[in-house]
Amino acid sequence: MKATRLRAAGLAVALFGALLAGTPAHAAESDTASDTTTTTCVTDPATPKRQFRAMWIASVTNIDWPSKASWTDPDQVAKQKAEYLGWLDLAQKLNHNAVVVQVRPTADAFWPSPYEPWSEYLTGVRGQDPGWDPLAFLVEESHKRNLEFHAWMNPYRVSMPAPGGAGADIAKLAPNAPARQHPDWVFAYPPAGVAGSRLYYNPGIPEVREFVQTAMLDAVKRYDIDGMHFDDYFYPYPSGTYQYPDDATFAQYNRGFTNQADWRRDNINLLIQEMNAKIKAVKPWVKFGVSPFGIWRNKSADPNGSDTTGSQSYDIISADTRKWIKEEWIDYVVPQLYWYIGQYPAADYARLVPWWAEQVRGTNVQLYIGQADYKSGEPAYGSYWMNPRELSDHLTLNRSYPEVLGNVHFSAVQVKANRLGATDIYAAEHYSRPALVPAMAQLPAKPLLLPVVTGAERQADGVRLSWRQPANGEGPLGTATSYAIYRFDGIGLHDRCDFADAAHLVATVRGTDGDVQSWVDTTAAADGRYTYYVSALDRSWNEGPVSPPRFVR
């Protein structure tokens, strides 16, 4: 939202009056502001004020969006837009505050990239121009709903297995695919001719690492994304006894490493460290997060590991996720804890959550948990997943660990499927109110002024609030990106503890261009008496002080 100045005399008078009147004696304070009192607010863990809530919207093989059916629709673009808006409707219904959307699934792009071909998952044809800019639409529409947009990228995967994908055949890639110009950049794994074979960029080649970073950074530079997101695809997951065909690469680019496994891990470490630095150099407010496989290492292999016996990402895909946290090369981590709570020695959810909480403790890295909605209600995954409360129990367990600041659900079609009513259960018990995205101390911030509420009028569809943001973004002041709206029943004044959780948070809304902001409370009763407050939020969800109260009698 563009900055505005105090130009109108009426606004100046309103602001002066508001500042004279002040907030109530026990003024509501920002949850990010320093508090000099010793008051400890009692909050309801079921309605946290801040919690990251999102679902993954996967595009690879058209898992979630867009649908394959859209390829043959008479108006393909309109169909795909409508489908995406449907996913945003679902996110809003569930009081989510972010979406994680896959926009570079196989070394391709959901935007007109100067580096890589158009994604086949838009049209069914590799490299075919869809006739519009999907990423621009995705970001704009997400922001209209005040949802953070995290652009989900896969750094090294080039193709999916045949017959649906190009498999190991470079000739089947889009004509302008970089791998066709640089066949030495890729390897097939498992080997060509073996079921499941596909192409990957070779992470050990410095030129490859530089290229994929440049290709992904293009989206950061050109679009108003809030975060870049990687999942767990770095080196390929092992297939049988097949080895990675990178001995020659190791010989040429070993950087003095004598252990090939350590070298591979360092290749991925460099990817993560450099990608974060490049993002922050371009747009310091853009977050960088990774969703790794849920086990780093087992305690039997490393005393710092978890009490598990499953596969170890440190060893099998060369992902030293614990190091990325300790070095603060990422802003958030979303371990995929796709296991149930119970006696499961390989990977018990109840053992892994505290381990991950311990890893982020004392760092600036935020912890969200990846939830396996796709397993809920599916008999193939065992009896625990036939319990409709399993996912809700996960979220309840998370409350015991203050380091757990949210959840991401895999994936959108599974959330919508709501098998056994599991989505309804966890949404009712944990997402009943809106929530602010957790603020990050390491991101840029400036102080925000309190909004001035200039009107609260009853109309046919509810109560319309109007407000202005004084000196928005001017001088040392921050820019309001969005606003939080609080509503209390009855007429009265409220202290800081009344704003400590989301019990009275009714909405967050995106700021718009222009001096006057407005929002309609369609849930207000026609004969209700209410007290409203509005606060400003910056791009990183830092919250300023609440406005003076506005009463509706």
Q: What is the pLDDT along the chain (553 residues), one digit of tens a residue?
A: 333 333 333 443 344 333 333 333 233 334 433 333 457 999 999 999 999 999 999 999 999 999 999 999 999 999 999 999 999 999 999 999 999 999 999 999 999 999 999 999 999 999 999 999 999 999 999 999 999 999 999 999 999 999 999 999 999 999 999 999 999 999 999 999 999 999 999 999 999 999 999 999 999 999 999 999 999 999 999 999 999 999 999 999 999 999 999 999 999 999 999 999 999 999 999 999 999 999 999 999 999 999 999 999 999 999 999 999 999 999 999 999 999 999 888 999 999 999 999 999 999 999 999 999 999 999 999 999 999 999 999 999 999 999 999 999 999 999 999 999 999 999 999 999 999 999 999 999 999 999 999 999 999 999 999 999 999 999 999 999 999 999 999 999 999 999 999 999 999 999 999 899 999 999 999 999 999 999 999 999 999 999 999 999 9
**353-374: per-residue pLDDT in tens?**
999 999 999 999 999 999 999 9
Any bridge partners for residue 464, and if so which?
457, 520
Closest CA to 472 of 438, 448, 455, 439: 448
DSSP code string of 476-538: TPPPP-EEEEEEEESS----GGGGSSSTTEEEEEE--SSSEEEEEETTS-TT--EEEEEEEE-
Per-residue model confidence (pLDDT) at position 167: 98
Per-residue model confidence (pLDDT) at position 343: 82
Tokens of 208: 């490859």
Per-residue model confidence (pLDDT) at position 17: 38
Per-residue model confidence (pLDDT) at position 223: 98
**Cα 90 from Cα 97, distance rounded (Å):** 11
Per-residue model confidence (pLDDT) at position 38: 56
**315-363: per-residue pLDDT in tens?**
999 999 999 999 999 999 999 999 999 988 899 999 999 999 999 999 9
Closest CA to 394 of 336, 308, 436: 336
**191-234: per-residue pLDDT in tens?**
999 999 999 999 999 999 999 999 999 999 999 999 999 999 99
Distances (CA, A) of 167 to 66, 162, 170, 188, 202: 21, 5, 8, 8, 16
| Residue whose structure tokens are 């996913």 | 87
In this structure, are residues 84 and 78 in contact, taking their beta carbons and an 8 Å threshold? no
Report the 10 Å Cβ neighbour count for 75: 10
Question: What order do you get walking across the sheet with 452-459 strand by strand?
Answer: 452-459, 462-468, 516-521
Q: Is 276 helix (H, G, I), strand (E, B) or coil?
A: helix
Per-residue model confidence (pLDDT) at position 469: 97
